[in-house]
Amino acid sequence: MHLHKSEKARLELNSRQRVLNLRERGALFLADGCKTQDEMQVLLRDDGSILQKLISDGYLVRLQASGNRALAPDTKEVAPALQLLPDTVTSPGSSSDKFDGKRSLATTRMFLFDICERMFSKKAPTLAQQYRDQLRQARDRESMVAIARDIIVKVEEIAGSERADGLSERIAMMLPPG
C-alpha cells in the first residue's frame, strides 16, 4: 500500500501555523501516493513511528495500488484516491517561476546546486562547498533525498520555515518516483 496526503495534511502544509515538526512535515511532502510505507521509512530514516503517528492522526492515508482507493488504517474505505501527479508538473500558482520539466535526478541536482549558490555561497562558503561535493557524489534517489533534507534544514535555519517549505515542495515535484 502506498501513502498519500489527506486533506488534513494539505491544510497543515499550507498553513502558517505549525502543528507538526520538521521531520513530520517532510514526511508529508514525500507522501505522493507513489511510495510505500517501507520506502518512506528508508527515505526518512524512520523506525516507523513518525509514519504511524501521521497515519493515526489522519495526515496520511494508505492507497491500494491496484484499486486506487484510499484506506484508513483499519482498512475501511474512506475516500477515492487523488490523482497522482503527471510526469510533467507545474508548480503552484504562488511560485514566480514554473517548472515544466520531467521528474529527474539531474533536474533535482541542478536545483539543489542553485539553492547552494543562492543561500550559502556568500554567507557560508564552506557549507556551500560541502553540499556541492555531496551533490556531485550523489548517484541515486536516496542519497539525493538525504542531501536535500540536510539543505532544507539549513535553509529553514537561515531563511525560515516558509522558504524551506516552498523549496521542499519544489524538490518533491522534481524528484522521480521512488
Write out pLDDT tens, residues 44-63. Answer: 877 878 888 888 888 888 87
pLDDT-derived band at 74 (thresholds 50, 70, 90) equals very low
Q: Examine residue 95 and state whether it is found in any structural domain, yes or no.
A: no
Q: Examine residue 18 and state whether it is found in any structural domain, yes or no.
A: yes
Neighbours of 93 (CB within 10 A): 6
Q: How many domains does one find in the chain?
A: 2
If asked whether residues 15 and 56 sit together in one domain, one would say yes
pLDDT at 89 over 90: no
If asked whether residues 6 and 45 sit together in one domain, one would say yes
pLDDT at 103 over 80: yes
Rounded to 5 degrees, what angle do the CA atoms 49, 84, 32 make?
A: 20
Q: Which residue range(s) make up the domain with 160?
A: 105-174
Q: Examine residue 119 and state whether it is found in any structural domain, yes or no.
A: yes
Q: Which residue has the higher pLDDT, 88 or 173?
A: 173
Q: Examine residue 91 and state whether it is found in any structural domain, yes or no.
A: no
Q: What is the mean pLDDT of residues 29-39?
A: 81
Q: Examine residue 74 and state whether it is found in any structural domain, yes or no.
A: yes
Q: Examine residue 93 and state whether it is found in any structural domain, yes or no.
A: no
Mean pLDDT is lowest, of 85-94, 100-109, 114-123, 126-135, for 85-94
Q: Which residue has the higher pLDDT, 117 or 90?
A: 117
Q: Examine residue 96 and state whether it is found in any structural domain, yes or no.
A: no
Q: Examine residue 110 and state whether it is found in any structural domain, yes or no.
A: yes
Mean pLDDT is lowest, of 28-42, 122-136, 138-152, 163-177, for 28-42
Give Cα 122 to chain centroid, integer Å: 27
pLDDT at 115 over 90: yes
Neighbours of 78 (CB within 10 A): 14
- Give the pLDDT of residue 100: 60
Largest CA-CA distance found in the chain, in angstroms, rounded: 53
Interhelix angle 22-30/49-56, nearest 10 degrees:
80
Contacts of 126 (CB under 8 A, 6+ apart): none
